[in-house]
Structure 1
């Protein structure tokens, strides 16, 4: 696999991992014990720490990407294994 393809796939894993990581560790103003700003949604996070979130996303994305690369090299799961409808044989 070329390094440009690996970089593009890693970026996709990183973007996907953002949606996996964002809901975890979020505390609302009520949970933090502070008053909400007028007009603030009840579900809005009390503090948004982009550095911490980016670090967590990078860890998750790297782990998933390494699993993907290992599967690519060792062939643990192939497209033939996932062909449940037997399309390859024309059925």
Structure 2
């Protein structure tokens, strides 16, 4: 696995995990009873982005470690995935 491929894979995993973690534990302004004028009632009251970004980094690192082991040690190869088409090499 090249360094460029590893970095790009990690960044994609990080963003996916971030978007999965953003709604966890968020309460809206309407639920808190403190709606700031000029904002929607459904806007988050306290989004707590820094702790979520730190948790995202930890989770994304674990997921990337698993993906790295699978790719480098060939735990699963493309030939083992049944729905991928099979191509013959041309000589």
For residue 15 of structure 2, what is the aligned residue in structure 1? Answer: 15
Q: Quick check: 1:68 aligned with 2:73?
A: no
Deviation of the 1:56 alpha carbon? 1.4
Q: Quick check: 1:88 aligned with 2:79?
A: no
SS at match of 2:78: coil
Residues matched between the structures, number: 88
Q: In structure 2, how many angstroms separate the alpha carbons of the residues matched to 1:13 and 1:89?
A: 29
Q: Quick check: 1:56 aligned with 2:55?
A: yes
Q: Which runs of 5+ in 2 are unaligned?
A: none
Q: Which runs of 5+ in 1 are unaligned?
A: none
Deviation of the 1:84 alpha carbon? 1.9
SS at match of 1:36: coil
Scaled by the length of structure 1, what TM-score is found?
Answer: 0.79
- RMSD after superposition: 2.0
Scaled by the length of structure 2, what TM-score is found?
Answer: 0.79
SS at match of 1:52: helix
Point out 4+ residue stretches in structure 1 off by more than 3 angstroms: none
For residue 3 of structure 1, what is the aligned residue in structure 2? Answer: 3
Deviation of the 1:89 alpha carbon? 5.5
